[in-house]
Amino acid sequence: MKSKLYLYLSLFTLLFLLSSCAVPIKSDPLPSWNDGATKQSIIKFVSEVTNRSNPNYVSSDERIAVFDNDGTLWTEQPIYFQIMFVIDRVKEMAKDHPEWKEQQPYKAVLENDMKTLFSSEEWISELFIVTHTGMSTTRFYEIGHKWLKKAKHPKFNRPLTDLVFQPMLELMKYLKQNGFRTYIVSGGGQTFIRLFAEQIYGIPPEQIIGTLFETGYKVVEGTPEIYRLPKVFLFNDKGTKAVAIEKFIGIVPTMAFGNSDGDLQMLQYTQSGKGKRFMALVHHSDSTREYAYDRDSHIGRLDKAWDKAIDNNWTLIDMKKDWKVIYPFELDR
């Protein structure tokens, strides 16, 4: 009798031990990626840099992965979503500016004359300043969140926040599970990206590097606020992406993901680090499920960076070939 009791006790304790300390069964960390060279190269790289006995091991302190946003983590066609915000916001603000009906570039916006609007970079800059500055950061978040709830994508008729790439979500999660800090390094506005990055990507505000406006500290009726000033502080594109990585992170990344020529220097900078690094470009090759564009596109042009990717043996992620699904909502079907 006693002997049986001990046996049960032992077995019970053993089971408890096994259940609490068991090694989880390895499942596919990237289920939306087709099996093939791209997926295998990612998994192989991550296995190597996280394995202490591998010559390519990278300590967890140094494990940084950087991601461009527009076109790399979510769709950027037919126009950058931040420009949709600018246009919608100008229309909203126009109620208080009757003079805009006859004044460019506002007239072009109000008449939906995109051809005229996009004929001048200075006009675009002016509209960014009018819609993004002259208010506190808190106020900008209020305006932005309100807009984001309503805004729909013209092709998919869905909230813009639905248009994130499911395979990239899996990739970021996989990297985090392997001790990486994942940063967004985008030409888009930092405050704009902070509107949704935590919700849709799980990336906290301090890991968002983007284009910055100058800001000032102001105490209004006893309350300190950060006020957005009508001047660009850092335009986070091309070489400046590398500059910003040094300022915000201070560590050369181990992995870098982009999709256009604006990401070239970020990838070159990543490659310049000691030891093995992983550089990849997302190639928009799927006109049915998303969009197809590369060397000749006005948005997200992938031309010089493509040549460099081939020269340097960087990974080209072919959306059509490598991804089982593009968006999370495809999983629900």
Residue 14 engages its own copies in binding (rule: CB under 8 A): yes
Min dist. Cβ of residue 50 to its own copies (A): 18
Query: Footprint of its own copies on residues 157-186 (CB under 8 A)?
Result: 181
Residue 79 engages its own copies in binding (rule: CB under 8 A): no
Among 20, 27, 157, 313, binds its own copies (CB under 8 A): 20
> Of 283, 261, 255, nearest to 66 (Cα)?
255
Using DSSP, state whether 132 is helix, strand or coil: helix
Residue 221 engages its own copies in binding (rule: CB under 8 A): no
SS (H, E, C) 189-254: EHHHHHCCHHHHHCCCHHHEEEEEEEEEEEEECCEEEEEEEEEEEECCCCHHHHHHHHHHCCCCCC
Residue 255, both tokens: 């992995």
- Which residue matches tokens 């983590």? 73
Min dist. Cβ of residue 124 to its own copies (A): 23
> Of 149, 2, 172, nearest to 72 (Cα)?
172
Min dist. Cβ of residue 5 to its own copies (A): 8
Sign of the Cα pseudo-torsion (148, 150, 153, 154, in order): negative
Which one, 4 or 298, has the nearer CB to its own copies? 4
Residue 219 engages its own copies in binding (rule: CB under 8 A): yes
Residue 312 engages its own copies in binding (rule: CB under 8 A): no
Binding mask 186-215 for its own copies (x = CB under 8 A): ----x---x---x-----xxx-x---x--x
Residue 69 engages its own copies in binding (rule: CB under 8 A): no
Query: Footprint of its own copies on residues 110-139 (CB under 8 A)?
Result: 137
Q: Which H or E run includes 185?
A: strand 181-189
> Of 62, 121, 72, nearest to 250 (Cα)?
62
Among 75, 236, 259, 265, binds its own copies (CB under 8 A): 265
**β-bridge mates for residue 278, sequence order:** 255
Among 19, 21, 98, 313, binds its own copies (CB under 8 A): 21
Among 243, 292, 299, 316, binds its own copies (CB under 8 A): 243
Residue 13 engages its own copies in binding (rule: CB under 8 A): yes
Residue 269 engages its own copies in binding (rule: CB under 8 A): yes
Query: Footprint of its own copies on residues 272-311 (CB under 8 A)?
Result: 272
**Helical residues (DSSP H) of the chain, grouped into ranges:** 2-21, 37-49, 81-93, 106-110, 114-117, 121-132, 137-150, 166-177, 190-194, 197-201, 239-248, 264-271, 304-312, 319-322
Residues that bind its own copies (CB under 8 A): 2-3, 6-7, 9-10, 13-14, 16-17, 20-21, 61, 137, 181, 190, 194, 198, 204-206, 208, 212, 215-217, 219, 223-226, 238-240, 242-243, 246-251, 265, 268-269, 272
